[in-house]
Amino acid sequence: MRAEALRDNDIGTDRRVISECMIAIGRDLENVVLSRAVRYHFERCVLVNGEKTVVFR
């Protein structure tokens, strides 16, 4: 799910972006991913089967 969220929230950057901005972007993206995961779990859209996880949207 994290890789999917990263693709969904692709952030374009260039070499001029300073490290503080990249850190802030990373924090924001982690918050988005976590909130989406909690929402899917709360809405019972997540099925865990052994070592595999299926997310229904």
Domain span including residue 21: 2-55
Domain total in the chain:
1
Q: What is the DSSP-derived secondary structure letter of residue 52?
A: E
Which residues of the chain fall below pLDDT 70? 1-17
pTM over 0.85: no
The helix or strand, by DSSP H or E, that contains position 21, with its residue range, turns out to be: helix 19-42
Amino acid 20: pLDDT: 79
Token couple for 44? 């019972």
Amino acid 6: pLDDT: 46
